[in-house]
Structure 1
Amino acid sequence: MEIITLPLGPLDTNCYILFNEDKKALVFDPSYDGKRILSEIKSRGLEVEAIFLTHTHFDHIGALDVVAKDLGVTTYLGGEEYEWVQNPALNGSSRFGETVTTNVKREELEDGLFETESFKFEVLSTPGHSPGSKSFVFDDFVISGDVLFNKGVGRTDLYMGNEKELMHSIKEKLFKLDENMDVYPGHGMPTTIEEEMHENPYIR
């Protein structure tokens, strides 16, 4: 499996495109610049099976409307934030002078094993940064959204953020994964579970 990382928008929010040798693909967090995301997909001849959101803050869904409607696939997200994609006050865009909203076809995610036609992975609820935050666990890596960063953690001062929940998600869920597992965060460079367990200054 290959992973394309596209840091997009004013906050360099990572959009991830995963694809296998058969050119089947998944998109995680279509953040900004839908044309660039679609260009990357089409230039490689990829067939996207679904879109997944780690959470629905505006900088992670800025290109969702464009990308989802062009690809004609379903978007999957945490049920706690199902309506946030339609509400600028909830997704935070109004706070930053933007109006990000969409009504794409979407379904709620449940914890546990998730399978598409070509992929299999675990959905893990990791609230704290936001109530519906999800992490996506593959065989040797996890997409952590804005929960765990390279030497950082997600902020908890936004709507329904909760520091106690965030620390529980990190220590009792992500840190229970294999220490050698790579971590692909919502912003910044990749890291590993082991590195963050021992070197992250924000973990208490």
Structure 2
Amino acid sequence: MDIRTLPLGILETNCYILNNGTGVLIIDPSGEADVIKHEVDGIGLPVEAILLTHAHYDHIGALEETARTYAVDTWIGAEETDWLSDPGKNGSGKYADMGIEPVSADIEVKILEEGPMEAGSFKFDVFHTPGHSPGSMSFRFTDFVVSGDVLFSGGIGRTDLYMSSHVDLVNSIREKLYVMDADTDVYPGHGPATTVGEEKAANPFVRG
């Protein structure tokens, strides 16, 4: 599996482009739709789906344009479907003084459910990992997991946001992510990749 990390948008939120040799999966089209399109078109394989770890504005900044460009299913947790078109809930409405324009994506979506999933030629497991947001989802492939803003290298997601919960976040990390094999690579919503083992041993916020 080829994994390309594109830090995009004002917060340099990681958009992931997965290529399994048959098709492409886009996770969190965070911003700069033209950059995403250039990367995907350079691969030369069909886009098979778009996955969202959650619906905060910095993870969906290029969602509407990307979804319309490729006309594929977009998948999201049930708790946050209405956040896509609501700047008050996705957070973009609060930061006009930072030059952030309200983000709204008017598209049809499909609902993620916890458990095994297939999207085109991709097979993976979906984990509901609430805390940073109520509908946060993590996606585990054979030897890596895309964790969104749940777990970072040396950090964890914020829990001072709309409908966030520190208790839920810690439980998600310990009960869903830290039970994975220690050598599982973790691809977070911001910053560099890490491993489950590294975070269990050294993450200052949630130790294993």
TM-score normalised by the chain length of structure 1: 0.98
Deviation at 1:140, TM superposition (A): 0.2
Q: Distance in 2 between matches of 1:82 and 1:153?
A: 23
2:38 aligned residue: 39
Q: Distance in 2 between matches of 1:108 and 1:71?
A: 19
Paired letter, 1:188: G
Q: Distance in 1 between matches of 2:2 and 2:58?
A: 24
1:3 aligned residue: 3
> Alpha-carbon deviations, 1:6-36, whole Å to 9, x = none?
00111110000001123x0100000000011
Moved over 3 A (4+): none
> Alpha-carbon deviations, 1:145-168, whole Å to 9, x = none?
000000000000010010000000
- Aligned partner (choices 132, 135, 140) of residue 135 of structure 2: 132
TM-score normalised by the chain length of structure 2: 0.96
2:60 aligned residue: 61
Q: Which runs of no fewer than 5 residues in structure 1 stay unpaired?
A: none
- Asked if the contact 2:49/2:120 (under 8 Å) is kept, the reply is no
Given the alignment of the two structures, is residue 171 of structure 1 paired with residue 174 of structure 2, yes or no?
A: yes
Percent of aligned pairs sharing the same letter = 53
Q: Distance in 1 between matches of 2:131 and 2:119?
A: 27
Q: How many residues align?
A: 203
Paired letter, 1:21: G
Given the alignment of the two structures, is residue 201 of structure 1 paired with residue 200 of structure 2, yes or no?
A: no
- Give the match's secondary structure for 2:178: helix
Matches within 5 A, 1:48-197: 48-97=47-96, 98-197=101-200
Q: Distance in 2 between matches of 1:203 and 1:160?
A: 20
Q: Distance in 2 between matches of 1:46 and 1:96?
A: 37
Q: Distance in 2 between matches of 1:138 and 1:151?
A: 22
Paired letter, 1:55: H
Q: Which runs of no fewer than 5 residues in structure 2 stay unpaired?
A: none
